[in-house]
Every structure is written in C-alpha cells, then in structure tokens.
Chain A
C-alpha cells in the first residue's frame, strides 16, 4: 500500500487530478450548505455577467438564476451519476466477463455474442433510445448509462480471467478441491483487479460526459440542475452571454481531465512493470 502511494505520487499529473477531484467532491458535498436555496430560484436580473455583483460571483443565467449555485449543485449530480452508473456497469460487466472467461467454450460464446449485441450499437444512440422509452428521471439516466457502458468491462475481465485461469496457482486450487465460485472470487478476481480499477476510473469520466450530453439534448431529469443542462439552456445565447456555456463546460472539462489523470496514475501505480522510465 505504501509502495502504491509512492508510485502514484510519482506521477505529478495524477496528483493534480486528485486535487481537482477532491475540490469537485468537496463542492458537491458542501453545495446544500453554501447554496441552501434551490438553484432553480431566480435571484437577480437575467444575464448578469460574472464578477459584477457581490454574492453572485459568476453572474446569472437567462432566467436570473445563480450560475455558481447551479455549478455546485451540478457537481453533485455529475459525480453521483458517474459513480453510481460505473458501479452498476461493473456489477453487470464483471460477472459476465468472469463467467465467460472462466467457463470458456459455449458459455463464453453465448455471453460474448450477447455483449457484442450491445457493442455494435453506438452507445450514445442507444442511451438516447433508452431514455426516450423510459421517463427522463435521474434513476433512468443512470440505468441508461450503465447499460451502454458495461460491455468494455465484460471484455476486459474476460481477457484477464482467460489468462489467469491457466496459471498454476489456479490449477493448484482446483486440485485442492475448491469450487468454481471460490476459485473465481478468491484466486482469479483479486489478481484481475488492477486493470479493472483503472478502467473504472475512466468510466466515471465517460459517464459524466454522457450525462452532460444527454442533459444538453434535454433528455436529462428536468427537475435536476446539471452541467449539461446548463450548457444546453445557454446554447441559444452563446453570442451574447458566452460565459453561461463556458463555465459549466470548464467544470466538465476539469472533472473529466482529473479523472483521466487519476486513471493514468493508477495504471502506473498498479502495473509497475509497465511504468515508463523511472528516473
């Protein structure tokens, strides 16, 4: 664990990413305290530019709502969607991949064709279709994102398991009389964890982007203030009030960048052999 932290810290980008993410998380948690009022409430005249009035540092939007409050509450939504949908995607993808890789043969064929069925449809188009069928609430946004993002997990886990199951320690476990479930859970998956963790960190970023894109198109939960919705609403006034699109855009950019940097750092720290020159 100490080694892990040492190697992680060595990647300066990853540490910066961690700081940005910590800031976003803090904002999300503190949003209800700092901005107790609903972000939907009109507080001033519309199109107030940033830094022109005390208490409304980032100005107001087309309906006179506080942009800063919107960003803070949006952070909560983005992180929630990113995290929960990744967990759900892992919960689908890891078992599918593990079963396919471990049992191989027909099980593998069946599960992988099923996975490919999802992979052949462009994920964003599928998410749109799913949300068009469901009602657009936060729960369904999360479900839609999970459904389109589990196939790569299944693929990755399958590959890892395929190579691990022929290792001698797995054979030894078989000879010791361990059942399949025990072998998968105790011998194979723990050794397949590092790449899964790295992928998960990148999936959170992907999910945040997806959620923003969906909200931008107006397919998000209409009762929840999110970054994507803010950009979508400001789209029509981009020439007169560019900051209304720019600020939430920056928020998305920084958060996704932070997660990608962390992902890379995790990759270096968890796969020390693949790390570039250590000088």
Chain B
C-alpha cells in the first residue's frame, strides 16, 4: 500500500543560484513499513526533496510543479496551519546534528513532553509516562535519570536516540532521517541503524533515509534512489542498484567507496625512524577546583609512544574522544604536551620554543579537517600559499612561482592564485590546504581527518592525490581518521587508540583482518556495509 507518492516534483532555487532547480522531476512512492534510501553527494538535492515533504524549504526555495500525496491527500501547498498536525504527528524527522537540534536549556523529558503538548495530546502525568516509555524503547540506559538530563549531559549517540524518541512520540507513519548517523562514531552508528531497523519492524513505520554512505545504504535499505544534481538518475531495489548499477554515476559512486578488503602484503618498509614519539602525555582540566565548582580532569593522551619511519603512512584511528587529534596537535605543538618527547632528527620538539621551534616545525606540516574553516576567508589563494615562504625569508617573486607550481601539483589551475577561498568547492579547497602544507617542503605531513568532510567521490580523489604526492615527494604521513575504510586505503600501519591510550598497533593487513584486541574487533564489526562489500568482491 502506497503511503506517500511524489509525482513530477520540481523545486526551484532562488534566481542567481548555480542551477535553476534544487530538484527536478522527482518521482517516487513509499509503502508502509519500507525503508527508502536517498543517496547522493552534497548539493544533489536529496535533503531538499525530503524537506519539501515536510513543507520546510528554506527561504526563496519553492516547489513549482508536481504533487505530493500522503495517505490519499495532496499535501503540497497546504498552509502552515494545515501542515501542523502532519508535522511531528504523521510525518516526523530527525537531523544530522542532534546537539543543535535539541534545545540546550531544556531537560530531555520536557522536550519530549513538548511534542505532545504541541499536538494537544495527553495530560501532564501521562506525557511524562509516555516520555519514559519512549526513552526506554529507543534504548537509553536508565530512562529515569535521562529524562531529567540536559542535552549536553548525554553522549552523541544518546542525543540522537532522544531525537528519535521525540520523532516517534506521536507514532508517525513516516520517519524522515536526514543523515542521522553522519556525525556519529562507527560503533554508535551501527547501534542507531539497528534501532531504526527494529522500530520499523515493531511499528510498521515507513522510513526515508537520506545518506551519502553506500555502506549504510547496503545495511538498511529496501529500495534506493540515487540523485545527482537535482535529478533521480537511478532507482530500484537495494540489491539491483547496489550490485547491478546501471547508471555510470551510480557506478562511479560505488567504485569510490573505500574498501576494507586489502591484502596484508605490505612490504617491510625501511626502518629509519624520522619521527619518534615517546611517552606523550596531555591532560586537559576545566574548572578552577576551588570554591567555584569541581575540577574536571580529562586525560586526553596517556603514554603514547610510536615511531614513524621515512616514507611510511601511519593511520591513527579511534572514536571521537579517543585522543587521536590531540596526539597530532601535540606533535606539531599546536598544543603543549604535558610530558614525553617528540624526537625529529634527534631534536626534541616537545620542549622547544621560539625561533628553534619555528625552524623545526617547517618540516612538520598539517592538513586540516574542515576545508571551509581552514582557509582564511579574507585572503586570496596567492597569499595563503606564499605567506609561509615569505615568513621564512623567500623573496616574494620566488614564492609566487613556487605557489603556482604547488597549485599545479595538487591539480588546480594557476589562475586560482587571485581568487578567494569561497569561490572553490570543498574538494578544491582541500587541495589548496594540501598545497599550503607542502609549501614549506616538509618531510612529515599530519592529516587530521583530512577527507572526513568530503563526499565519497571527492574523498577518493583527494586520497589518491595524497598517496601520489607522498611517493613523489618522499613524504611520511600521520593520517588521523575515525574511518577505518579510509585508513585501509592509504596507510601502511595502523594505530588504534581508545581513551587516550594506544590499544593496538601493527601493519594494516594484521589490524584489519586479524586484530588482537576486542576493541579493534568491535570497531571493525561496526563498519556498515560489510556483507555488501563481500558480495561486491565476489561479483568482481
């Protein structure tokens, strides 16, 4: 039975946008109890299509054509007032970032009760009781405590569970989930996916699941829609689309997925350590510990030691809060370590300061995660790339020539020099970030989640670029990531961190296929789409 059906939906963007339509010719049906995945890269119009169902399009974006029928009634073009009972009541939605979707000043229980209140359902005591039941249903441990908690007191996964509890409060027919697991760790992601799957079964609810991750799609989808530049390029059952993709774009997307399956046949690299980290410690503390509140101490990095050999790439993986980024930052001295040594060419960077540190740090450069905040929005690319060189005394003309060479090296045109960062796409910006890191001819590159903010296809390109540059320029690399699949693609050795400590270290093949610790095993098990990957490998 068809619950929701969209026919010929066109959503127009405001005049002056990079294309005329956010989404065009959208056609699909959703049956009760079905999970439909909409896949596409950022800007493909997947979120816009879902928002149109809820009547939640941003300013200036309007549906201009087509129809959306829900339960036999046309809902496109309903007034705000007429939409209210539908929103939250019959169709509800969960979002990517549960922290910003929850009100930070309201207790969890009150936020759930508010949903009933908005729809005039139940009385005070009943609302509280239902809230408790919902929290229990979405698997929050100790609902009695959670109901009185503020959002900041919960972990990311628990917040997303609360969001789901709110979305489920009025027993909707359709749940729209817009990248609900993108901001979560793999293990938490696996739990949330399982929860959505279970709820679908127990309630017979239809789910529209928007994601860019084919692994997730393979794990939960019944049917899949692939979108590109606002149009549906392929749709069909999950098996058909994933294993027998027809459209070249779908095929490209599937090829771009980083895979775990990689042989352990990495040849032993020459053992000349270029960077030695010994007993690195870093502790963060908040609060003064005096009259005004308890002192909270977080041991972010505890006794971390490893050696990075020349020409090698080490992946540091772990969940958020495992201290992996702190290690990277301590090594380049963006943070000052509390203890331990970082030896480069026999010199201890951890205890240097002033000019000495500045000179040593030349050889140690970093690529950052967010291509949108890592480039100064008010500086032209030429300045971004030449600044470091000029600071180290290179004449301006030489620096300019070098910058042009760097742009070419990372696959950008030299005309990019005079442009500002906002004129580039995310992938291009990350290339500029890489060029900047290479400007000072470093011997070690630290990449902190360098591809996490990028779409899969762009991710693959940037990873290839990094691998190629590493060969060509004889770089050694520390690759910090939460994504084991990405680490598998580029690293020679992998270090697994948990709660500030190294729990496992070894060659890629060993860590990924025959891990020694349960923790690594649980990380590996949580990676979405593994059955699918195996199926793909067999098909090839």
Residues on A lying within 8 angstroms of B by beta carbon are: 167-169, 171-179, 182, 186-187, 190-191, 277-279
Q: Are A176 and B369 in contact (CB under 8 A)?
A: no
**Which of B71-79, B247-255, B432-440, B467-475 has 4 or more CB atoms under 8 Å from chain A?**
B432-440
Q: A177-B358, A177-B392 are in contact. Are A278 and B376 (CB under 8 A)?
A: no
Q: Are A177 and B368 in contact (CB under 8 A)?
A: no
**Which of B119-127, B359-367, B476-484 has 4 or more CB atoms under 8 Å from chain A?**
B359-367
Q: A177-B362, A190-B378, A278-B59 are in contact. Are A172 and B391 (CB under 8 A)?
A: no
B-chain residues with CB within 8 Å of residue A277 when the two chains form the complex: 59
B-chain residues with CB within 8 Å of residue A178 when the two chains form the complex: 387-388, 391
- Which residues from 57 to 115 on chain B have a C-beta closer than 8 Å to any C-beta of chain A? 59-60
> How distant is the Cα of A67 from the Cα of B303 in the complex, in angstroms?
80
B-chain residues with CB within 8 Å of residue A186 when the two chains form the complex: 379, 387
Partner of B388, one of A177, A191, A279: A177
B-chain residues with CB within 8 Å of residue A168 when the two chains form the complex: 368-370, 373-374
In the complex, given contacts A171-B366, A177-B362, A187-B376, what are 7 additional A-B residue pairs having Cβ atoms less than 8 angstroms apart?
Answer: A169-B375, A173-B387, A175-B364, A175-B388, A186-B387, A187-B379, A278-B60
Partner of A171, one of B59, B334, B379: B334
Query: Can you report 27 A-B residue pairs in the complex whose CB atoms are below 8 A from each other?
Result: A167-B373, A168-B369, A168-B373, A168-B374, A171-B334, A173-B376, A173-B387, A174-B334, A175-B332, A175-B334, A175-B361, A175-B364, A176-B387, A176-B388, A176-B440, A177-B358, A177-B388, A177-B440, A178-B387, A182-B391, A186-B379, A186-B387, A187-B376, A190-B376, A191-B376, A191-B378, A278-B59
Q: Are B366 and A175 in contact (CB under 8 A)?
A: yes
Q: Does B377 contact A (CB under 8 A)?
A: yes
> How distant is the Cα of A137 from the Cα of B461 in the complex, in angstroms?
68
Distance in angstroms from A106 CB to nearest chain B CB is: 14
Distance in angstroms from B254 CB to nearest chain A CB is: 32
> How distant is the Cα of A186 from the Cα of B369 in the complex, in angstroms?
22
> How distant is the Cα of A278 from the Cα of B59 in the complex, in angstroms?
8
A-chain residues with CB within 8 Å of residue B433 when the two chains form the complex: 172
Q: A182-B391, A278-B59, A279-B59 are in contact. Are A175 and B376 (CB under 8 A)?
A: no
How many interface residues does chain B have, given as a range?
Answer: 20 to 34
Residue of A nearest to B448 (CB): A168
A-chain residues with CB within 8 Å of residue B362 when the two chains form the complex: 177
Encoded as 1 (CB less than 8 Å from any A CB) or 0, chain B from 310 to 340 comes to: 0000000000000000000000101000000
Enumerate the 3 nearest inter-chain pairs by beta-carbon distance, A residue then B residue, closest first.
A176-B388, A168-B374, A168-B368
Q: Are B334 and A176 in contact (CB under 8 A)?
A: no
Distance in angstroms from B16 CB to nearest chain A CB is: 11
Distance in angstroms from B406 CB to nearest chain A CB is: 13
> How distant is the Cα of A171 from the Cα of B334 in the complex, in angstroms?
7
> How distant is the Cα of A186 from the Cα of B388 in the complex, in angstroms?
13
A-chain residues with CB within 8 Å of residue B373 when the two chains form the complex: 167-169
Residue of B nearest to A279 (CB): B59
Residue of A nearest to B369 (CB): A168
> How distant is the Cα of A109 from the Cα of B365 in the complex, in angstroms?
32
Q: A169-B376, A171-B366, A171-B368 are in contact. Are A176 and B60 (CB under 8 A)?
A: no
Distance in angstroms from A196 CB to nearest chain B CB is: 14
Q: Is the interface of A mostly helix, strand, loop or mixed?
A: helix
A-chain residues with CB within 8 Å of residue B368 when the two chains form the complex: 168, 171-172
Distance in angstroms from B380 CB to nearest chain A CB is: 12
Q: A182-B391, A279-B59 are in contact. Are A172 and B358 (CB under 8 A)?
A: no
Q: Are A176 and B436 in contact (CB under 8 A)?
A: yes
Q: Are B358 and A169 in contact (CB under 8 A)?
A: no
Name the residue among B364, B374, B376, B378 with the largest chain A CB count within 10 angstroms: B376
Q: A172-B368, A172-B433 are in contact. Are A177 and B391 (CB under 8 A)?
A: yes
> How distant is the Cα of A167 from the Cα of B372 in the complex, in angstroms?
10
A-chain residues with CB within 8 Å of residue B379 when the two chains form the complex: 186-187
> How distant is the Cα of A172 from the Cα of B437 in the complex, in angstroms?
8
> How distant is the Cα of A177 from the Cα of B387 in the complex, in angstroms?
9
Residue of B nearest to A179 (CB): B391
Encoded as 1 (CB less than 8 Å from any A CB) or 0, chain B from 488 to 514 comes to: 000000000000000000000000000
Residue of A nearest to B383 (CB): A186
Residue of B nearest to A176 (CB): B388
- Which residues from 21 to 46 on chain B have a C-beta closer than 8 Å to any C-beta of chain A? none
> How distant is the Cα of A277 from the Cα of B59 in the complex, in angstroms?
8
Q: Are B59 and A169 in contact (CB under 8 A)?
A: no
A-chain residues with CB within 8 Å of residue B391 when the two chains form the complex: 176-179, 182
Distance in angstroms from A183 CB to nearest chain B CB is: 10
A-chain residues with CB within 8 Å of residue B436 when the two chains form the complex: 172, 176
Residue of B nearest to A189 (CB): B378
Name the residue among B369, B377, B378 with the largest chain A CB count within 10 angstroms: B378
> How distant is the Cα of A115 from the Cα of B479 in the complex, in angstroms?
44
Distance in angstroms from A12 CB to nearest chain B CB is: 19
Distance in angstroms from A122 CB to nearest chain B CB is: 28
> How distant is the Cα of A173 from the Cα of B374 in the complex, in angstroms?
10
Q: Are B376 and A177 in contact (CB under 8 A)?
A: no
> How distant is the Cα of A39 from the Cα of B400 in the complex, in angstroms?
60
> How distant is the Cα of A178 from the Cα of B440 in the complex, in angstroms?
12
B-chain residues with CB within 8 Å of residue A278 when the two chains form the complex: 59-60
Distance in angstroms from B9 CB to nearest chain A CB is: 22
Distance in angstroms from B94 CB to nearest chain A CB is: 24
Distance in angstroms from B4 CB to nearest chain A CB is: 29
A-chain residues with CB within 8 Å of residue B370 when the two chains form the complex: 168
Residue of B nearest to A188 (CB): B376
B-chain residues with CB within 8 Å of residue A173 when the two chains form the complex: 376, 387
B-chain residues with CB within 8 Å of residue A177 when the two chains form the complex: 358, 361-362, 388, 391-392, 440
> How distant is the Cα of A142 from the Cα of B376 in the complex, in angstroms?
36
A-chain residues with CB within 8 Å of residue B377 when the two chains form the complex: 191
Residue of B nearest to A171 (CB): B334
